[in-house]
Structure 1
C-alpha cells in the first residue's frame, strides 16, 4: 500500500521529459580532508570546499586551500561544472547547501559531488536537486555529535524530470536573470555593510579617552535564562517560546525556527524578554563569543535560554549603543581575553559579562552617534528584504519550470519583468 501511495503522488512531467533518479543523473564522488598536520598539503592555490564554505550557488573559492599534493593525499579534485552539496554539518538543521563549481576545486567528506551524466546540464541538475529541499531536509538524521547527516542511498532514490538539453538551458537562462539581480543586490548590501562598519568604528573612536568607563553591571542588569532539561508539569505551568543560541546572530535575531519550553508561571518575570533587551551568546567559537543583537519584541511573550545572556540597560545607556560596543573590535577582544577555551568551544560566564568595561558617554551623545549607523542599517535591511523577495520569486519559478508546469520564454528580460509579467512563462498544454 505504501508503494502504491507513493506512486500516486509521483510527479507527472510533460511529454519528452524523462524520469531520472539522482543515482542515474551522474557519477557520485566523495571527498576528504588532507592531514592538517602536514604543511605541504595546505595553503596552496586549490580551493578546498567544506560544509562551512559552501555558501553560494556558484562555487568559486574558499577560505581554505590545498596544494596539488594535498589534493592527491586525502581529498579529491573535481573540475568546473560539478554539482556539490552538503551531506553532513550543522547547516543541515535549517538549510540544504548546493552549488556548481566554476573552476577546479577539492572538497571535504562533508560534501558529495555529482558529475552530470551526458545530456544533463550541471546548472539544471543543481536547480532540480535544490527544488527537492523540503524532502531532503526531512531526510536529515542527527549524529551523536549533534550535526545533521544525509544518507546517500536515500538521496539517490529521489527523482527529477529531465527535458531535452535545449529546454534545460532555456530554464537555466531564465533563472539566471533573477540570480544576476540577486547578486547585484548582495554586492550593494556588502558595500553598505562596509560603510556601516566604518561608521560604527568612527562613532566609538570619536570619544576615545574622554568618555567615562564603567563596569557593565553598574549601568545594566545581566541575567541568564531558563535551563532546559527538567520542565515542570501540573498546575501553574505555562508553555512559551524561547530564544536559544541559534536564534541570536551577529547583529540580528532569527525567529524562523523558535522552540517552546514549560516554566512555572511564577518564573515568568525572571526569564521574560522586553523590547530593548540586548541578547549576548554565552558560547561558541572563540571569535564569536558575546555575539548578539537587541530584541525588538516581535514575539510576545518570549523567554531566553540559559546560554543566552539578557542585558537590560539603565537610563544611562541605550542598548543599541551597547550593542555597537560589544560587537566592536574592542568588545570582541574583551570576550576573547576572558573566554574559557575547551576542545571544541569557548564560553563566558555572567560574572565576566558584568565586569566588562564599557564607555558611557552622555545619553544625548549616544543617540547622536547612533543616527548615521541606524540610517545605514535601515538601508541594509531594505536591501535584505529585496533579496529575500527575489529569492522567493526565483524559488517559485524554479519549482514551476522544473516540474514542467510552465515553459520558459525569452530569458533576456529583467528580474522585475519576470516577477510581474505573466507573459514570461506560459502554461503547458496538458494543464
Structure 2
C-alpha cells in the first residue's frame, strides 16, 4: 500500500510549486470527548464536532455543544480556518469527510485537525486534502468493531502541491465561483420544490362530486419475485429486477440494477409495464410506501417481493395515485397501518389494497396534474444543470489543485 501511494505521488509536478507531505503543512491536533456524565460540560454554545456530525465542508455547527469548562476538560478547541477530517468511524468505509471551520469549535477523538502553516490558505489546504480522497480511502483499515480507521502516520506521508499564496487564492476563488452558481441554482430548486408542494396539495384538494374508492377497486396490486433458491436449466431466464434500494421517493434509480433468474412462464406475472406505480413494503416508518411510477426504461424488468406493483385500471391515472400516496394523507395512512418492529416498519398488500383514495373523473385528474408536471419538468432541468456544474467543477478544480491548469494573475 505504501508503494502504491508513493507511485501516485511521483506523478505530474507543476513547475514552481512546492510538494509538501501532509505532516509538514501545519500543526496537527487530536480531539477528545469530555465526560458525558458531567452536565457542566454539555449544553453550552461551543459546537462539538464528531465524525457523525461532520456532514458539510463548511463546519459551523453541531447538534451537541460544550460549555467553556467542557471544552477545557477532555476536548480540543480550534479557531476559524482549521482543517478537520474524520479518521475513525463507519463513514470511512464509503467516504472521507473533510472540511474547514468557519468559527471556533471543539472536536472529538474521531477527528484530526490541521492548523495551516504560514503561507498556506486554510480553504486551499482543506480542498487539497479533499482532492486526495480516492488515495486516502485506500489507506482505511477495518477495526475489530467493524468501523473504519485511518492511520495518522500513513496519512501524513501523502503529499499535496503548494503553489504561491496568490495562486492558492485564485484557485479558491475559482472554486467559490462554481459554488455561487451552484448555490443560486439550488436556491431556485428550493423554490420550485415549495411550488411543487403547493401545486400538489391543490391538485388533491377535494372537489364537489369526487368519488372515493379503495386501491383494490381501481388497481391491481401484486408483489414481485421472491429472492432465494433460483431455478436452473432450460425454461429459465435471467433478467434485471428492481429492489427496494432502486425505488426512491418520487423516482426510480437504475444506476445499480441486480439480476435474478426465473422460470420463463413467470415473466408475464412479474414483468413491469410502463405506468406501473411501485411502492416499497418496508423501511423506516416515515418512509413506508415511498414510490414512483415506472417509465419503462428497462425492458423487460421485474420487481422483487418487497416492492408492490400497483397497476391502475381505466379509472385512475398512475401519476395521480402516486401524488396521493406521497401526500401527507397518504403518508399518514401508511404510518398508521404499518407494523413497527425493532429495526424497521412494514406494510402488506392487504393494507395497500384497503387504502381509500380520491377518484375524480380521469379528465380532472389529468388536468390537475398538468401544473405539477410542468414544475417537475423545470425541477429536473435545474437538477441536471446542478449535476453538470458539479461534474465540471470537480474536473476543473482537480486540475487547478494539481497544477495541470494554471490561473494567471488578474
TM-score under structure 1 length normalisation: 0.79
Counterpart residue number, 2:385: 386
Task: For 1:352-371, list aligned pairs within 5 A.
Answer: 352-371=351-370
On the 8 A contact 1:131/1:395 being kept in 2, the answer is no
The answer on 1:192 being equivalent to 2:181 is: no
The answer on 1:346 being equivalent to 2:348 is: no
On the 8 A contact 2:288/2:347 being kept in 1, the answer is yes
Counterpart residue number, 1:248: 247
SS, match of residue 190 in structure 1: helix
Distance, in Å, in 2 between the alignment partners of 1:362 and 1:299 is: 31
Residue by residue over 1:275-328, the C-alpha shift from the partner in whole angstroms, topping out at 9 and shown as x without a partner, is 222222222222222222222222233332333222222221111111111111
Q: CA deviation at 1:352?
A: 1.9
Moved more, 392-401 or 153-162: 153-162
Q: 1:4 to 1:181 in 2, by over 3 A?
A: closer
SS, match of residue 311 in structure 2: strand
The answer on 1:3 being equivalent to 2:9 is: no
Distance, in Å, in 1 between the alignment partners of 2:214 and 2:205 is: 19
Counterpart residue number, 2:257: 258
Task: For 1:197-346, list aligned pairs within 5 A.
Answer: 197-207=197-207, 210-346=209-345
Counterpart residue number, 2:18: 18
Residue by residue over 1:107-141, the C-alpha shift from the partner in whole angstroms, topping out at 9 and shown as x without a partner, is 677x6343243143332233223333444556678
Distance, in Å, in 2 between the alignment partners of 1:386 and 1:283 is: 33
Task: For 1:7-46, list aligned pairs within 5 A.
Answer: 7=7, 10-22=10-22, 24-26=24-26, 27=28, 29=30, 45-46=45-46
Distance, in Å, in 1 between the alignment partners of 2:149 and 2:402 is: 24
Distance, in Å, in 1 between the alignment partners of 2:287 and 2:368 is: 25
Q: 1:7 to 1:53 in 2, by over 3 A?
A: closer
Counterpart residue number, 1:102: 102
Give the number of the structure whose alpha-carbon radius of gyration is greater.
Answer: 2
**Structure 1, gaps ≥5 residues long:** 412-431
Q: 1:38 to 1:226 in 2, by over 3 A?
A: farther
The answer on 1:124 being equivalent to 2:124 is: yes
Q: CA RMSD in A?
A: 3.6
Distance, in Å, in 2 between the alignment partners of 1:74 and 1:303 is: 55
On the 8 A contact 2:51/2:111 being kept in 1, the answer is no
Distance, in Å, in 1 between the alignment partners of 2:384 and 2:135 is: 26
Distance, in Å, in 2 between the alignment partners of 1:33 and 1:242 is: 49
Residue by residue over 1:245-265, the C-alpha shift from the partner in whole angstroms, topping out at 9 and shown as x without a partner, is 232222122223333333333
Counterpart residue number, 1:421: none
Distance, in Å, in 2 between the alignment partners of 1:41 and 1:328 is: 43
Counterpart residue number, 1:58: 58
On the 8 A contact 1:244/1:304 being kept in 2, the answer is yes
Q: 1:89 to 1:298 in 2, by over 3 A?
A: farther
Q: 1:117 to 1:280 in 2, by over 3 A?
A: same
Distance, in Å, in 1 between the alignment partners of 2:147 and 2:12 is: 31
On the 8 A contact 1:282/1:289 being kept in 2, the answer is yes
Distance, in Å, in 2 between the alignment partners of 1:337 and 1:6 is: 57
Q: 1:337 to 1:92 in 2, by over 3 A?
A: farther
Distance, in Å, in 2 between the alignment partners of 1:249 and 1:70 is: 45
On the 8 A contact 1:11/1:403 being kept in 2, the answer is no
Q: CA deviation at 1:98?
A: 3.9
Q: CA deviation at 1:164?
A: 3.0
Q: 1:2 to 1:105 in 2, by over 3 A?
A: closer
On the 8 A contact 1:238/1:263 being kept in 2, the answer is yes
Q: CA deviation at 1:337?
A: 1.1
Task: For 1:162-181, list aligned pairs within 5 A.
Answer: 162-181=162-181
Distance, in Å, in 2 between the alignment partners of 1:115 and 1:5 is: 21
On the 8 A contact 1:24/1:117 being kept in 2, the answer is no
Aligned length: 405
Distance, in Å, in 1 between the alignment partners of 2:155 and 2:260 is: 34
Q: CA deviation at 1:159?
A: 3.7
SS, match of residue 222 in structure 1: strand
Distance, in Å, in 2 between the alignment partners of 1:345 and 1:101 is: 36
Distance, in Å, in 2 between the alignment partners of 1:238 and 1:360 is: 39
Q: CA deviation at 1:190?
A: 0.4
